[in-house]
Structure 1
Amino acid sequence: MADPFLSIQSVKKSFGNVAVVKDFNLDVGAGEFVSFLGPSGCGKTTMLRIVAGFEEPSAGKVLIGGKDVTGLKPNQRNIGMVFQAYALFPNLTVAQNIGFGLKVAGVPKAEAQARIDEMLGIIKLPDFGDRYPYQLSGGQQQRIALARALAPKPKLLLLDEPLSALDAKVRISLREEIRSIQKKLGITTIFVTHDQEEALSMSDRIVVMNEGRADQTGTPFEIYNRPSTKFVANFVGTLNVLEGTISDAASGTVKINAEEIGLKGKLNGSKSGDTLSLALRPEAISLGRKAGNDSNLTGQIADVHFLGSVIRVRVGVGQNVVSLDTFNSPSSPPPVVGQKTEISFSSGDVLVLH
């Protein structure tokens, strides 16, 4: 990345003796949408607050547009911030809430009104200007909070779990709207979430955080399909883990129960007799033998859950249990619990967890 718009350089943050952020580095391009993804307590919100200026780093610096802003207050950084709590002023109308930052900045009344009308149009609530927050649904209030953050035309938008208080259906709709607005305005955005589906569906890149560090940074495709650590592999998406033993490291042969599969090129640094954890996404596994799959294991149907268009099947393979989904077919009844079966997969889809 030639000239990152946001650059976080060797940032650390400790509260007393507790290190919350540990040597965090990230460059974000202009107009890029980057998500900080991780469990509670991993440091993602603290890192966002450091970028915003609400927390001062113990070490390192933050640059926005090439300018070192580490020592600047939040109102000196030209950022927009949206919180999990809508934080709307209950005594102000929707229009007054959206225009609050413009009023503080001394924007002329006519210009401010034009910007308020523009923002109401962008968030698809053009006729809501005279309403008060209590007259709005949760999703509508969060749209207003977003419009208020965007009204002063910030260079950087920071979103701290803005959808977590909403119900599932509204959350899906609103995340699509947020991404659409972000693309339309071309604003550089950092989005904090613990919801992997949100991060995967919205982001240009994802930073998976674990205990104050960035475990992996990459596109949603890379994070999901090529996790670089065991933590990332387990945290992002559903994962099946099979325990195996290397029977021949030279040929890349691994034994699972009494059956062998080939993992040539994936056992670097391992030796015969080593125990390995092998991971497979559910969608990489087929029930029965399938053309193109070079690995097969025998097992027994442990559970079958009919979910309409999809049938979720759990198969016991020795001491391991793997989950997979098959499409419902009216002409083919689902498998029966206790039934002997085979599962198949491509050795290229196997992740070796270290």
Structure 2
Amino acid sequence: MSFLNISHLEKSFGPTRVVKDFNLSVEKGEFISLLGPSGCGKTTVLRMVAGFEEPTSGAILISGKDVVKLRPNQRNIGMVFQSYALFPNLTVAQNVGFGLKVKGAGSAEIRTRVGEMLELIGLPDLGGRYPFQLSGGQQQRVALARALAPKPHMLLLDEPLSALDAKVRVSLRNEIRSIQKELGITTIFVTHDQEEALSMSDRIVVMHAGIAEQVGTPSDIYSRPATRFVAGFVGTLNTIEAEVLDSAIGRLRLAGVETILNRPVPDGTVTLGLRPEAVSLGQNGHDTAVTGTITEVDFLGSVIRLRADLGGQTIAFDTFNTPGTAPPTLGEKVVLGLRSADLLVIED
């Protein structure tokens, strides 16, 4: 049996259902991200696992035991909040050792464990400081150490990086993942940032309107989205309408040219999804070539994002910023190469 089993979980606030038939099994040591826009129900799921919200219905089993009726302090779960929630009147060391003190640990045990945690988060010499004397990234490290100090069975993180600037956020997410792997602790991470979820997770749960739309590895979620919402929410996606010429083999007319998907598609007209990085400037051996006119050029540093009009439909694609090679200019006619295998049929 999986370490954490969530089955048919529902939560309503009055007449509003915010979580709908949510199911998830998590193996011991896995890093799972709940990814979705604001209001999709991801934090509510986390709070139900932590014990801060009681489900309207459904079961939450940890190591085979249903914990729905247990209080948060009876579940042996560590939680890190978006707002740090450090005690301003306690030193860093006192904050980290707070959970151990509540559990009745002796002063020597607390001192040893606090030292271990401060070493783990890379702040061994800051135990005597107060939270206001730390940067935002340091405060979040202390919050993480406090959650881990009592040796919980599971770690829950509720958008812990959203209040930090971009460079600190990237650094800290790498540290969190490294610490999680080192400790082997089962972790559920809530975020609305797709890059965080894709870079940190073993598996991702993409949520929308209270529903788990897709559960899969980062590669599955990005490369093989199961629904239109997942395809549009995770990463940048071109959507192109194509006329179906033979539904049995997926022969289509796309931007005036024919291509074959070699898989069945619905009759009529289909919506295709295509990632910008799957489009090349020039055919370059790709099985399908379309002609377009450049309508936009965005300089993004090492990459240049271009958009081209394909006779009424727009497609975005990327090219490297190569010194000495000028990118296409506005109004220039270009040939773009596509692979039929990269075209996703997007269904509702």
- Same topology, TM > 0.5: yes
1:337 aligned residue (312, 321, 330): 330
Of 217-226 and 336-345, deviating more is 336-345
- 5 Å-filtered alignment, 1:41-80, equals 41-80=39-78
Paired residues of 2:255 and 2:290 also in contact (CA < 8 A): no
Query: How far apart, CA to CA, are the structure 2 residues paired with 1:11 and 1:308?
Result: 45
CA shift digits 1:155-199 (9 cap, x unpaired): 010000000000000000000000000000110000000000000
CA shift digits 1:93-115 (9 cap, x unpaired): 00000000011101010011000
Q: How many residues align?
A: 347
Query: How far apart, CA to CA, are the structure 2 residues paired with 1:250 and 1:79?
Result: 52
Aligned AA (1:6): L
The match for 1:252 is: 250
Query: How far apart, CA to CA, are the structure 2 residues paired with 1:229 and 1:332?
Result: 39
1:287 aligned residue (281, 288, 305): 281
Query: How far apart, CA to CA, are the structure 2 residues paired with 1:225 and 1:74?
Result: 38
Offset of residue 248 of structure 1 = 2.5
Tell whether 2:305 aligns with 1:312: yes
The match for 2:5 is: 7
Query: How far apart, CA to CA, are the structure 1 residues paired with 2:264 and 2:87?
Result: 57
- 5 Å-filtered alignment, 1:84-163, equals 84-163=82-161
The match for 1:324 is: 317
Paired residues of 1:215 and 1:229 also in contact (CA < 8 A): yes
The match for 1:217 is: 215
Aligned AA (2:280): S
Paired residues of 2:249 and 2:264 also in contact (CA < 8 A): no
Tell whether 2:20 aligns with 1:22: yes
SS state at 1:173 partner:
helix
Aligned AA (2:313): N
Uncovered stretches (5+) of structure 1, i.e. residues with no partner: none
Query: How far apart, CA to CA, are the structure 2 residues paired with 1:204 and 1:68?
Result: 25
SS state at 2:43 partner:
helix
Task: Rate the CA distance shift 1:104–1:280 in 2: closer, same or farther, 3 A.
Answer: same
Offset of residue 257 of structure 1 = 3.7
- 5 Å-filtered alignment, 1:259-298, equals 259-267=257-265, 270-271=266-267, 274-291=268-285, 293-298=286-291
1:240 aligned residue (231, 238, 241): 238
Offset of residue 307 of structure 1 = 2.9
Offset of residue 290 of structure 1 = 1.0
Paired residues of 1:262 and 1:295 also in contact (CA < 8 A): no
Of 300-309 and 39-48, deviating more is 300-309
Aligned AA (1:134): F
1:32 aligned residue (22, 30, 37): 30
How much identity, in percent, do the aligned residues show?
64
Of 144-153 and 301-310, deviating more is 301-310
SS state at 2:144 partner:
helix
CA shift digits 1:121-176 (9 cap, x unpaired): 00000000000000000000000000000000000100000000000000000000
Offset of residue 287 of structure 1 = 0.9
TM-score, normalised via structure 1 length: 0.96
CA shift digits 1:22-58 (9 cap, x unpaired): 1111110000000000011110000000000011111
Paired residues of 2:11 and 2:17 also in contact (CA < 8 A): yes
Aligned-CA RMSD value: 1.0
Query: How far apart, CA to CA, are the structure 2 residues paired with 1:8 and 1:250?
Result: 39
Offset of residue 306 of structure 1 = 2.7
Paired residues of 1:301 and 1:313 also in contact (CA < 8 A): yes
2:294 aligned residue (296, 301, 320): 301
Aligned AA (1:278): L
SS state at 1:331 partner:
coil
TM-score, normalised via structure 2 length: 0.98
Offset of residue 345 of structure 1 = 1.1
Offset of residue 266 of structure 1 = 4.2
Aligned AA (1:275): T
CA shift digits 1:233-274 (9 cap, x unpaired): 00000001111111222342212243222222041xx12xx1
